[in-house]
Amino acid sequence: MHQVEIATTQNTLLDSPQMTLNMGPQHPSTHGVLRVILKLDGETVIDLDCDIGYLHRGMEKIAENRMYNMIAPYWDRLDYIAAVSNGLVWVETVEQMMGLDVPKRAHYIRTILTELNRIASHLLWLGTHALDIGAVTILLWAFREREEILKIFERQFGARLTCHAWRIGGMPNDAYDDFESDVRQFIHNFPNRLDEYETVLNENRIWLSRTVGIGVISGEDAIAIGLSGPALRGSGVAWDIRKARPYAAYGDMDFDVPLGENGDTYDRYLVRMEEMRQSRRIIQQAIDNLPGGPVNAKVPKLIKPPVGDYYHSIEGPKGEIGCYLVSDGTQQPWRVRVRPPCFINLQALKRLSIGHLVADVVAIIGTLDIVLGEIDR
Amino acid sequence: MALIALLAAPNFIDTLLLKFFSEQTVNYVIWPFIQVGAVVTITAGWVAYATYLERKISAFIQARLGPMRVGPWGLLQPIADGLKLLVKEDFIPENADRWVFFVAPYIAVVAAFVVMAVVPFGPDWAVITDVNIGVLFVLAVSSVGVLALILAGWSSNSKYALLGALRSSAQMVSYEVSMGLAIIGALMFGRTLSLSGIVGAQASDSIWFLLYQPVGFVIFLISGIAENNRAPFDLPEAESELVAGFHTEYSGFRWSLFFMAEYAAMVVVTAVATTLYLGGWYFPFVYRLTEAKGYHNAYVVVSLIVFLAKAGLLLYLYFWLRWTLPRFRYDQLMDLGWKWMLPAALINIVVSAIGVGTLQGLDGWHGMDTIRSVTSGLGLTPTGKVIAIAFGVANLFLTAGILSLINWRSRDFNLKKQRSKIRLVDLPKGKPAVAPVAVSEP
């Protein structure tokens, strides 16, 4: 492990007055409407406070007054970058609570599309993260690939960003005619493009100096804070829900989990880049073994899960998206609780940023990969 | 014929003017005015189209098209932008220091444009004035630009602007040191501070000082980019951190003045770099093909084009770097300035001095002939040139060696060792017994 130069935060040489800097909610690199209140000594961060809630829509409360299949579109707007993954956790929770037998083909298509969504989300993260650090070009390159995924989504779901992907018990319709060839085309081109990004960034001195040793968090601390997803795996903790509690068709897939070593920004960057490769591997397997058959289970007209509570979570692009559902046996849930990955990952911001410079705070916000739609709900 | 008539125009105007004014008025008042007008107009146009070029080149790098709507291939885009900025509201924030806020952009533009007065765009009439301390003038006037940034940041009464201004002042001051020191090596070979004189020295010797001074050139270019606040050193206006840095509160035409100043300063640095290291307007064969055959004005015009082409190449380097590199952090920038650029500049001075001393010492020793004349710069014979170039190349390795010796313990130097590799783990499937265990302690 290397030494991170963290300036003393207590006594400064010149005893300079602190400066309070308000970053956001309208700031180019707080990824939405996050407001960060920074206490600065010169440019060193002494203290940091996050102010959230500018995008609060009361999702969980709204869900109490909707029928089960009416809730799903709200769910897609949680983390709007990963609408497909968000939708999946909701339908799977209800399906598992009701004990529905979803056909294998639906599971496979779900796997393909959620992995495509993971790649799209990671590409957006890569672009904005690099943009925050100053490498503008990567953003447009990443969007070029993301565009191809969004085209597949548009043809499949009819929407590019807030796609309402699933129905309880399966899918609204089968995969469109050219689905297979489109996906194959994408996974054929994708690795070269990924290599291209890595040649621009991996060995880049400035990129290294901006990311190596910045925002270090140990595995224990990461677990204590409750980090999940790439932010957790960057610290070397081997935890991936796709492996631990396989859902959809992940049980049939063969893939590796990338783990970081130092838990710094550079590790989280490498982990996400490798995750995109692994996602591609999963898609390749799923598309090769795509079974035929129906895509819908037999679903009762009225969806009434049995009385009780149920928790189900999946590995979203940003971490563990969970859904805790309490049913009183009626057509509407009694209580719904989201386990939001970004909200919990954002807690680490203060821990990671103190002692670093303002420029690093921006890099750390980027590396946590937050989406305010899900933090504020 | 038309071309020859065009090239003869200056003579024609000269004779025409002499009919109305005395010779002194024509030489010292009217011609300078025409030159100043031409240079300011051309520079402003060059600045406007530099923005267009930048947008096109960035689009090329980023797999886009860039401006395409206004005019063919978007060629009128700079004009449309200028018009749009002109008609925007001239907004001054309520709590701003009105007068300082008002004046700062003008200082920036004036500082950037005034330097053009001494830049030799070509021989003879293509230079406004040949000041015998031209290099000092360039350094002095271009540093006035810092004042504009500080004033703008301070008067805006905004924390982001203030932070941007503080950053920029620290940055520009520290890089000016190494920039000034980097030039000294070239001056030893040029033996003059006049920019035209330095070009003359390179032309009479048929060589570019880049070959004698590779280290000096690199330092000058890097410091120049840093002093212009261009990426990867664009911290003062780092938009992801400081919104827009010192010009956060500026809008409309006042903002565009800052923008113009930035591009004009870029043009200045590339022009000075061309003059000092790339032979300025000198290009092989041009003299022999034009001036020697009696086409004086053709000589000037071709030299002018040569100069613009060289400066344009350096400008392309600016764009290229901006759109491919991430941004430095503030302290890393200072590290680079003080721990790498400054020692390198000092080493360059020492090695160049030893080189020039050696050349002088070898001249006449055992019948060796290194120095031809010292009337216009340090005129070297082929033997002398080889020795000087050898010193330049040796300097590259020497500087690299000494710098790594100085910085071998620093974080930047060992970055590649510090970074980690990721591991790929094929976890067992199914439910884990308890909470996951940290595989390794980071």
B233 touches chain A (CB under 8 A): no
* In the predicted structure, residue B236 carries a pLDDT above the cut 80: no
Q: Which pLDDT belongs to residue A310?
A: 87
Give the residue-averaged pLDDT of B342-371: 83
pLDDT tens, residue order, chain A (377 aa):
344 444 444 555 555 677 787 887 777 777 778 888 888 877 788 888 888 888 888 888 888 888 888 888 888 888 888 888 888 888 888 888 888 888 888 889 889 989 999 999 999 999 888 888 888 888 888 888 888 889 898 888 888 888 888 888 888 888 888 888 888 888 888 888 888 888 888 888 888 888 888 888 888 888 888 888 888 888 888 888 888 888 888 888 888 888 888 888 888 888 998 889 889 889 988 888 888 888 888 888 888 888 888 888 888 888 888 888 888 888 888 888 888 888 888 888 888 888 888 888 888 888 888 888 888 88
SS3 A313: strand
* In the predicted structure, residue B240 carries a pLDDT above the cut 60: no
Residue of B168, B415, B426 to mutate, interface with A, max A Cβ within 10 Å: B415
The answer for B 33-92 residues in CB contact with A (under 8 A) is 58, 61-64
Q: Which pLDDT belongs to residue B7?
A: 55
d(CA A1, CA A202): 19
Q: Which of B415, B426, B438 has its CB closest to that of A237?
A: B438
d(CA B229, CA B206): 34
Q: Which pLDDT belongs to residue B148?
A: 85
> How many other CB atoms are there within 10 angstroms of residue B408's CB atom?
9
- Residue-wise pLDDT for A318-355, tens only, equals 888 888 888 888 888 888 888 888 888 888 888 888 88
CB contact under 8 A, B439 and A28: no
A159 touches chain B (CB under 8 A): no
Chain A positions touching B440 (Cβ under 8 A) are 219, 236, 261
A141 touches chain B (CB under 8 A): yes
* In the predicted structure, residue B389 carries a pLDDT above the cut 50: yes
CATH number at residue A305: 1.10.645.10
Tell me the two tokens of residue B409.
């313990």
* In the predicted structure, residue B137 carries a pLDDT above the cut 60: yes
Quick check: is A263 in a domain?
Answer: yes
What is the tally of structural domains in chain A? 1
Chain A positions touching B441 (Cβ under 8 A) are 218-220, 236
Mean pLDDT of chain B: 80
Contact A147, A119 (CB under 8 A): no
Residue of A26, A259, A285, A364 to mutate, interface with B, max B Cβ within 10 Å: A259
The answer for B 155-184 residues in CB contact with A (under 8 A) is 159-160, 163
d(CA A240, CA B424): 12
Q: Which pLDDT belongs to residue B441?
A: 44
- Residue-wise pLDDT for B429-439, tens only, equals 665 544 444 44
* In the predicted structure, residue B5 carries a pLDDT above the cut 60: no
CB contact under 8 A, B63 and A263: no
* In the predicted structure, residue B115 carries a pLDDT above the cut 80: yes
Q: Which pLDDT belongs to residue B434?
A: 43
> How many other CB atoms are there within 10 angstroms of residue A238's CB atom?
21
CB contact under 8 A, A258 and B424: yes
Task: Please state the φ and ψ torsions of residue A49, each to the nearest 5 degrees.
Answer: -135, 135
Residues 6 or more apart whose CB falls under 8 angstroms from that of A284 comprise A187
Among the ranges given (A6-20, B84-98, B155-169, B387-401), the one the predictor scored with the smallest mean pLDDT:
A6-20
Give the residue-averaged pLDDT of B306-332: 85
Give the residue-averaged pLDDT of B285-293: 73
d(CA B167, CA B164): 5
d(CA A338, CA A321): 7
Quick check: is A373 in a domain?
Answer: no
**Which DSSP string corresponds to A251-280?**
GG----EEE-SS-SHHHHHHHHHHHHHHHH
B3 touches chain A (CB under 8 A): no
Chain B positions touching A251 (Cβ under 8 A) are 429
CB contact under 8 A, A2 and B418: yes
Q: Which pLDDT belongs to residue B435?
A: 47
Q: Which pLDDT belongs to residue B100?
A: 84
The pTM assigned to this predicted structure is 0.82
Q: Which pLDDT belongs to residue A359?
A: 81
SS3 A128: helix
Least Cα distance to A317 among A78, A152, A117 occurs for A117
Quick check: is A291 in a domain?
Answer: yes
Quick check: is A5 in a domain?
Answer: no
Tell me the two tokens of residue B275.
């003059």
Nearest CA to CA, how far is A182 from chain B (Å)? 22
Give the residue-averaged pLDDT of B230-243: 67
Q: Which of B243, B411, B439 has its CB closest to that of A238?
A: B439
Nearest CA to CA, how far is B214 from chain A (Å)? 22
Q: Which amino acid is at B228?
A: N
Quick check: is A42 in a domain?
Answer: no
Beta strands in B229-278 (DSSP E): none
A134 touches chain B (CB under 8 A): yes
Tell me the two tokens of residue A118.
């993971």
Q: Which pLDDT belongs to residue A203?
A: 80
Contact A292, A272 (CB under 8 A): no
A1 touches chain B (CB under 8 A): yes
Q: Which pLDDT belongs to residue B442?
A: 41
Instruction: Report residue A327 CA to chain centroid gap.
Output: 27
Q: Which pLDDT belongs to residue B9?
A: 61
Among the ranges given (A17-26, A206-215, B51-60, B70-79), the one the predictor scored with the smallest mean pLDDT:
A17-26
Return the sign of the alpha-carbon dihedral for residues B191, B195, B196, B201.
Answer: positive
CB pairs under 8 A between A and B: 184
Can you give the residue range of the structural domain that contains A258? 59-363
CB contact under 8 A, A209 and B415: yes
The answer for B 239-258 residues in CB contact with A (under 8 A) is 239-243
CB contact under 8 A, A208 and B328: no
d(CA B253, CA B46): 18
